[in-house]
Amino acid sequence: MIGQDQLGDNHWFTLAFIIVFYWLITLLNLKFDMAKIGGAIGIWLGVYLPIGSGFILGLAAFLKRGGLIPTACWGPLAYTAPSPA
């Protein structure tokens, strides 16, 4: 399944995949107390991990590009202007 682009383009496969995982999560919530299990690790997976990975990826991009490039995205920046030129 990995590396097969035609499966990702197939709308019926995508729909079936979503429905199967939706019902799998629903059945797990009915069978086990997933709130207690997920609550213990939810803060790590939902807050700390995304913030940490975003910071690390941003730092890696900063170091790879060689620091700040003032004209990279929005044009030249000026401290006197309220928004980029």
pLDDT digit string, tens, across residues 4-53 = 778 778 889 889 999 999 999 888 888 887 777 777 787 787 889 999 99
Q: Which domain holds residue 49?
A: 33-66
Give residues with Cβ within 8 angstroms of 71, minimum separation 6: 77
Residue 75: inside a domain, yes or no?
no
Whole-model pTM? 0.44
Determine the Cα–Cα distance for residues 32 and 62; give it in Å rounded to an integer.
44
Residue 82: inside a domain, yes or no?
no
For residues 45 and 27, state if they share a domain.
no
For residues 1 and 27, state if they share a domain.
yes
Residue 80: inside a domain, yes or no?
no
Residue 1: inside a domain, yes or no?
yes
Domain count, the chain: 2
Residue 84: inside a domain, yes or no?
no
The model's pLDDT over 50-82, given as tens digits with 9 standing for 90+, comes to: 999 999 999 998 888 887 776 667 666 667 766
Question: Please, what's the b/e burial string for 9-36 (b: 16 or more CB within 10 A of its CB; e: otherwise)?
Answer: eeeeeeeeeeeeeeeeeeeeeeeeeeee
